[in-house]
Each structure stands twice: as structure tokens, then as C-alpha cells.
Amino acid sequence: MSAFSEDELKLQPPEPERESTRWSSPLFLFKREQVLLVLSTKERRPGSLGLERRRLAEHGSSASELGARNRNQSDSIWIFWAPYVTDDGDSTHSEISSSPLTTESPSVLNRREINIRPLDRRDSQAFQVRIDDLLAIRRYLPAIGYPRARFTRKGGEIYPELAFQSGGLRDFLNALRKCVELEADATDPDLFYVRAVRFNAQPQIADGFEMHSSRQSIGHRKAIRRLSASPAALAMLVQEQPAHVQIGSAPMPNVQGSSQGSFHERNATAPDASSSSATSAETREESIPGPSPEGEEELTFHLLERFSQITRLARAATSSLGSAYRRRQGSKQRNAADDLISETVHDADEEDVAQQEPFSSIAVQFENGEIVPPLRTLDRDFQVYRPLRSAPRVSREAFQRGRRLDPLAMRHAIFAGGLEHDARAVAWPYLLGVFDWTISPEEEQEQRRLLENEYLVLKQQWKSISEKQERRFSKYRDRRVQIEKDVIRTDRGIELFRDDNSTALRHLFNILLTHAFFNFDLGYCQGMSDLAAPIVYILGGEEEALAFWCFASLMDVLERDFRKDQSGMNEELSRLALVIRHIDPKLYNYLRDQQAEKFYFCFRWLLVRFKREFQFEQVLYLWDVMWAAPSTAGGGLFHLYIAAALLELHRDIILEYHLTSDELFSYTNRMAMRNDAELVIAKAELLFKEYGLPAELELQLDLKHAV
């Protein structure tokens, strides 16, 4: 691992996000003085780090109107850092305060005189980020030196390190946990991922000390926690709440003045800082009451009632589908008496469904007597799951800046939002293991040169075969003919591969045949061209050698799946069976009754990693996510949860229409190109978070690692 250059360490904060709306003066939840912005190994700027709640203040909106709005729409919690302003107004060369704050009780702290220095929030190096846009926090606890922290924003933007000269990193993380759920990475306990945002954060007045808040009822906390994993579902339910039911604490008081300087101006001009702080604390404690127990209980009851209603409506919708299908097939399979009973039951189901006003049901169509998979499943799937994939995609510049600073956080940023198209040519070689994430740009260029020379040597092995040698080399002839057949029918609908004489097709052929010589024992199998084509599409135009090594790295992982004895694919399908039995026993038992428990109808999904199940651009996005999947999402097993998500999104049709083993093959083939990648990925991520790995699969992996 090479050392960082001085220019690389001089990381500037990302551009502050531009808000089209105005925010009122902040209400501090946490504030820590003497936090240093680390610009380089020798350059650090002192300032203050804070956590504050801001209320949206639109033109023409009164405080009462804002208070009546949904808290999730009108409130926002921000993390900010700003440098100190010196007496002459220049914040460039601020000095460290000579009297650091200590950990004391709020009563002692309020009695002492605290010199809170004004901040320059308009400084070019000041930054602020909403916790909704925060992806991860990296903690550094060196044996010698100050504890430090680094923030990573969704989209892969990484802020400079902050050094806590007077301590307080633990206090800051504890205060942040009151606002968001922090999940430690399974392999790195100092990396915390930001999960669902909480609504019960209470304000703080003094540095590092929270105000006393009323207790929340157990039922209220459990209800909010159950909803935290599904922001879309929470928004759907809260929008229909009674107006007198509130979530969390009471509305934030309307603080007069602008958000840029009112707090600092008041402290700078106050004759007695300690008395002013104490008076402010008492005033705010009295003006912010906790939620009433009656309102909390009513909220809990209302949310549970709404969940119950959704369940009843969904059950009624799928029940009506099953009844319609049974009536359609009744004339072929039942006698006249059974038909009469089926009609009676169907009429009763229709009356019950009409009374409950269900969601829009699945629009099932038939073609030649077979079910055509819908382009979408129930509308509720899109309402609940797809909004969870709202993180921005990682840009080329963000990846190049962040991959060396925090590789694990960068992988998680890619998993959360994918990559922008022009970033894939840079990021895929790292995701596939061709390059080490910590190498410098100079080392990368040297490795590229060595890999290109090695590729030319491998390529020359088959190019130098003479006609006489080819007549005596049957394996070479057979593989070459098979590759030629597959290349001319791979992704011809894509503009890059449309021309028979295109450079991309020639590069695809060269890469596949060179790999057949590189891994001669494996050779070539159908399906490899499907895996190589997207890599050539991203890299092959100018960098055929790098595209080859990316494909070779991918095949090192998938080699067992292409063995002629199919032992690798049988193991993959048995793992998928374990996952389905773990998360949905009813579906697994049904498939077992249909003698489909081997999951051969999912064979193509896993062999070519869903290449034929999604549109081409969505396949690129899906591969971004799968290759970057962290351990908190199953890591190298996330593709099994993608397959499970596809089945779960179509399980109602499979169960209600009683698809047989043969019909499952036909149905899954018809599913190709009719799936939505964002929906499936969000569903897969939630399945893993809710159920985790099956115990049998964990045992297999432990034994494999032990060997």
C-alpha cells in the first residue's frame, strides 16, 4: 500500500447543496467546539461541529401552518462544520481556543462562563449535509493522536477528516444515534452505515449534553421501529393519520432571525455567556413538551389498524384472482356440480372485494393458454420498495477520489446507488479485483502496461496456429466454431454490436478465444459470451486487454458454474433452495409438491447472472450493485437474494394459479425483459436484512473457509 500524496490529502468538501426553499434558524441537538478540519498532514483548521434541526420556512407560511404539516416534510436534521471567525473577520488563520470544554453535567456547565466563538458558515471549506443524504461514517481511533471521523455522502462524495482535539467523538455518535440508525459493518467495526431516520431527536443547548425529554411509550417506539425499514410505507400511512395525532416530539418553536448568524451574534454580544446559556436552556425546556401518552397510544393503534387493512385488502385481491382463474378453467377440469359451486364462491368473493375496495390487482393475460407475466406486480410493490433505491449514482470523479480514502465506504456507495455510465470503465476493474483499491494512479498505469503485454502473449498463442496445426487440433477448431456462432448472435440489438464488422464484435471474439487458451481446462461454454459482452461494451472499445482481464477475473469466480458435470450450478441451485425455504416456507413446500424443489427453472438466472432477465442498461446497473454488495447485504451471495426477490414478487401468481413444474419453466422464460432492476434489488436487500442467511448455508460457508 503506497502512501498518499500531499495533493490527495488536500480533499476539499463537496459543493454545498443548493436549497430552493428557506430554512428557519436552527435548533441545536449537539455542538462540539475545537473540531479540526484535516486538509493535509500539516494543515488543519479549527472550527465547530454541530447537529441541528431546521424547520422549513416558506414564504407566506405561518408557524401554525408549518406545525400542522407532516414532520417528515417540514423538519430536517443537518450535520455542519464551520471554521471560527477571528476578530478581524478573517477565518483563514484562526487559532485554537485555549480553554477546551470538558465533560461536566449540564448544571455545572451552565454556571461556568463559556466562550463560544462565532463561526463563518459562508467559508469555502465549511460544509453541511442532511442526515437523509448521509451514507456512512468512518471512525478513526489512533493509539496516538486525536480521534477522527470522516463522512461519506450518498453518491460517493467524501468529506475531509475531522479531528476532535478536545474529544467528543463518542458523544457525537451517541447524539447522532438519536436521529438515525447506525449499523456497524460486519468486517470493519469502525465503519457505520446510516439507516432509517428517526423522528424523536430532542434538542441540546450545551456542548454534548441533551435536554431531558419525556419518555415514549414502548408501543410507540416499537411501531416507529417497525416502520423505519420502509420509508415509503411510513409516508403512505402517516399521510392518512388524523390531524390531532403527532409523531415524535412537539413542533419546533419558531426561532426568529436568519440561520447564518443569529446564534453567533447573540453569543458574541451577550455580557454574560453563562447566564444567557442557562436562561436559554430553561426557556427551551419549558417550550418543548414531550409527546402525550394518549397521542402515542392512538398513533400505535392507528398504524397497526392501517397495516391490518392493507393485509386484508391484498389478501382479497389475490383471492379474487384465484377465483377468476378457477372459473376460467372450470369447464375443462370440473363437472357441472363443481362449476355451480365455483360460480357461487366467485360471486361471494366479488361482493366481499367490492366492499373492501382493494388495490389494483395483477393484470394477468393469457397467450396460447399460458399466463403472460405482468410488466409490474401489484402497485404496492412499487410504492414500498422502489423508493428505497433513491441514492444518487457514483460519479467518475467521486470514485477516483474516494476509492483510496475509504474502499469499504465507496463499495457501499456503489451498492446503494450504482455507478454513472462513464464511471464504470474506471470502477469495474476494481470491483472485479483486477486492481487493488489502494494503489496510486502511477501504480495503476504500470499495472495496465504489464497486463497488456501479458494479454498480447496469450493472444498470440492462437493467432500463431498454422493451418496444418489446426487440422490436428480438434479442441481448438470446436471452440473457435462455437465462439464464432455465439458472438454473431450476442446483443445484436445494441448499437455497438449491430454491425457484422464492428470492432466490438471482433474484440468480443478475441477475448473469448484468448480466455479459452488462458483457461484451457475450462475452455468455452455457452453463456460466456453473455457475460463478456457488457464488459466489452464498457471497456472493449479502446482497452481490449483490460476488458479481457476483467472477464478473466469474473470467470475465476464463476468457473465452477460452467463445469460440464454441472456440480457448481447444482450447488448454486441448492443454496437458492435453502434461501427460499428460509424466507418463504409456503412457497418452498408448494414447489416441492410440484417436484420443482431443484429450482432448475432458475438455472439461466444464476448462470449468466440475470443477463437475459433485464434490459441491457439495467443489467449494467444490477452488476454494479451485485459486485459491490457488502457483507451487510450478503456479499458474494447477494445474487441468491436477487433470484429470491424475483420469485417473491411473482409468488402470488405461482401459488394462486397453481403453476406446475413445466408451467414454471414457461413462466420464468416469459419473465425475461419484463422485470424492473431497482424494484428487484430493493426487494432483495430487504429480504436479506429481514431474514439473513439460512443456518445451513452459514454452516456450509464456515466449513468451506475452514478447509
| Phi-psi label, residue 620: left if phi above 0, alpha if psi -120 to 50, beta otherwise | alpha
Q: What is the pLDDT of residue 556?
A: 94
Contact between 511 and 529 under an 8 Å Cβ cutoff? The reply is no
Please determine, for residue 429, whether its predicted confidence score (pLDDT) is greater than 90: yes
Contact (Cβ atoms closer than 8 angstroms) between residue 110 and residue 278: yes
φ/ψ of 94, rounded to 5, equals -70, 150
Q: What is the pLDDT of residue 332?
A: 42
Q: What is the 3-state secondary structure (H, E, C) of 317-368?
A: HHHHHHHHHHHHHHHHHCCHHHHHHHHHHHHHHHHHHHHHCCCCCCCCEEEC
Residue 76 pLDDT? 83
Query: Which pLDDT score, from 0 to 100, does residue 89 have?
Result: 53
Q: How confident is the model at residue 615 (pLDDT cuts 50, 70, 90)?
A: very high
**What cell numbers appear for 320 in the block?**
379474487
Contact 479, 512 (CB under 8 A): no
Which residue in 149, 333, 180, 304 sits closest to 233, CA to CA?
304
Residue 654, H or E segment: helix 651-656
- DSSP characters over 484-513: HHHHTTSSTTSGGG-STT-HHHHHHHHHHH
Each residue's pLDDT tens digit, 541-589: 678 999 999 999 999 999 999 998 889 999 999 999 999 999 999 999 9
- Give 435's DSSP letter: S
Q: Which distant-in-sequence residues (6+ apart) come within 8 Å of 386 by Cβ?
A: 232, 676, 678, 679, 682
Q: 8: exposed, middle or buried (C-beta count within 10 Å: 0-12, 13-18, 19+)?
A: middle
| Residue 463 CB coordination number (10 Å) | 11
Entry field: residues in the chain: 707
Distance CA 616, CA 618 (A): 5
Residue 36's nearest CA partner among 146, 124, 131, 157 is 146
- Give 181-190 pLDDT, tens digit per residue: 888 888 888 9
| Alpha carbons 487 and 4: distance in angstroms, whole number | 43
**CATH no., domain 25-43+77-82+119-199:** 2.30.29.230
pTM: predicted TM-score of the whole model, two decimal places: 0.69
- What whole-number distance in Å separates Cα of residue 539 and Cα of residue 429? 9
Q: Give the residue extent of every domain in the chain.
A: 25-43+77-82+119-199, 383-393+565-704, 444-562
Tens digit of pLDDT for each residue in 277-300?
334 433 333 333 444 444 444 444
CA atoms within 13 A on the CB side of 403: 24
User: What backbone torsions phi and psi does residue 647 show, to the nearest 5 degrees?
Assistant: -70, -40
Cβ neighbours of 589 (radius 10 Å): 12
Helix (H, G, I), strand (E, B) or coil at 92: coil
**Fold classification of 444-562 (topology level):** Helicase, Ruva Protein; domain 3 (1.10.8)
The pLDDT tens digits for 34-86 are: 899 998 878 889 999 998 888 765 444 444 444 444 444 457 889 999 999 87
Cβ neighbours of residue 636 closer than 8 Å, sequence gap 6 or more: 557, 629
Q: How far is CA 17 from the centre of its chain?
A: 21
Dihedrals phi, psi of 621, to nearest 5 degrees? -65, -40
In whole angstroms, what is the distance from residue 247 CA to residue 254 CA?
18
Q: Quick: pLDDT tens for 663-704.
A: 999 999 998 988 889 999 999 999 998 998 888 888 777 666
Record the cell numbers describing residue 68, joined without a space.
400542522
| Orientation of helix 677-691 relative to helix 616-628, angle to 10° | 30
Q: Which three cell numbers stand for residue 567?
A: 456440480
β-strand partners of 119: 84
**Amino acid residing at 326:** R
With contact defined as beta carbons under 8 Å apart, do 591 and 381 qualify? Answer: no
Q: pLDDT class for 331, splitting at 50, 70, 90? A: very low
Angle (CA) 400-406-409 rounded to 5° is 100
User: Which of 301-315, 376-390, 610-624 is modeled with the greatest confidence?
Assistant: 610-624
**Cβ–Cβ < 8 Å for 102, 273:** no
Rg for the chain, CA atoms, rounded: 30
pLDDT at 148 over 50: yes
What percent of the chain is predicted at pLDDT more than 90?
A: 41
Report d(CA 259, CA 74) in Å as an integer: 16
Beta carbons of 83 and 93 less than 8 angstroms apart: no
Sign of CA dihedral 553, 557, 558, 563: positive
Question: Cβ distance 435 to 447 under 8 Å?
Answer: yes
Q: Are 40 and 8 in contact (CB under 8 A)?
A: no
The CA distances from residue 349 to 7, 214, 358, 364, 653, in Å, are 70, 48, 12, 18, 18
pLDDT at residue 110 above 70? no
CA distance 536 to 508: 6
The rounded Cα 499 to chain-centroid distance in angstroms is 37
Residue with grid cell 403527532, as numbered in its chain: 246
Within 13 Å, how many C-alpha atoms sit on residue 299's CB side? Answer: 26
What sign does the dihedral 479-484-485-490 (CA atoms) show? Answer: positive
Residue 428 in this model has a pLDDT that exceeds 50:
yes
CATH number, span 383-393+565-704: 1.10.472.80
Sequence-distant (≥ 6) Cβ neighbours of residue 11 within 8 angstroms: 39, 158, 159, 160, 401, 405
**Grid coordinates given for 243:** 390531524
Alpha helix stretches (DSSP H) within 178-272 = 218-228, 231-238, 262-269
Cell readout for 330 is: 372450470
* Cα 273 from chain centre: 45
Q: Where are the beta strands (DSSP E) in 383-463?
A: none
Q: Rounded distance, CA 576 to CA 579, Å?
A: 5
Compare 423 and 372 and report the one with higher pLDDT: 423
Residue 561: CA count within 13 A, CB half-sphere: 19
Site of grid cell 456547565: 109
Render pLDDT for 578-587 as a digit per residue (tens, 0 to 9).
Answer: 999 999 999 9
Q: Residue 635 above 70 pLDDT?
A: yes
Does the CA dihedral 265-266-270-275 come out positive or negative? negative
